[in-house]
Amino acid sequence: MKLRQDRVAEEVRDAVAAALRDMKDPRLGLVSVVRAEMSADLTHAKIKVSRFGDAEAVRESEKALIAATGFVRTRVAKAVRLRQAPEIHWVMDDSIAYSQKIDTLLKEIHGKDAK
C-alpha cells in the first residue's frame, strides 16, 4: 500500500505544481512544491511548499495558498484519478531557506579561516 501512496503523492505534487503555475494571485510569489504526503486512505494530502523571502512574503503566500485551496483541489481531482479528491493541507517548509542560511554561514567561516 505504501507504494501506491508514494505514487499518488507524486502525481498530486505534480498536479499542485501545475495549478500553482497557472494561478494569477500576486501574493503567491515564487512558491515551490517541495513534497506531497498522502494519508493511508488517500483522502488527505499534506502539501509542503517553500517560499524564499522574508516572513511577511511567506505569510502572504500562505494566505494566497489557503484562498486557492478549492481551485487546487479541483485541478488535482481532474489530473489524478481517485475515487475522492483529497483534502489539501498546506505546510510551509523552510528547509531551503535554512540550508541557504547554513551555506552562507559556512562560507563566512571558511572565508575567515583563509585570511
Q: Give the global pTM.
A: 0.80
Average pLDDT over residues 59-65: 93
CATH: 3.30.300.30, 3.40.50.720, 3.30.70.260, 3.30.300.20. Which one for 2-114? 3.30.300.20
Interior CA angle at 83 toward 81 and 88, to 5°? 80
Q: In the chain, what are the domain boundaries?
A: 2-114
Question: Can you tell me the distance from the alpha carbon of 26 to that of 17, in angstroms, rounded to the nearest whole number?
Answer: 16
Largest CA distance in the chain: 63
Residues 107-114 have a mean pLDDT of: 76
pLDDT attached to residue 1? 58
Residue 93 pLDDT greater than 90, yes or no:
no
Cα distances from 3 to residues 9, 10, 16, 17, in angstroms, run 10, 11, 20, 21
Q: Summarize pLDDT for 4-48 with one digit per residue, the tens.
A: 999 999 999 999 999 999 998 889 888 999 999 999 999 999 999
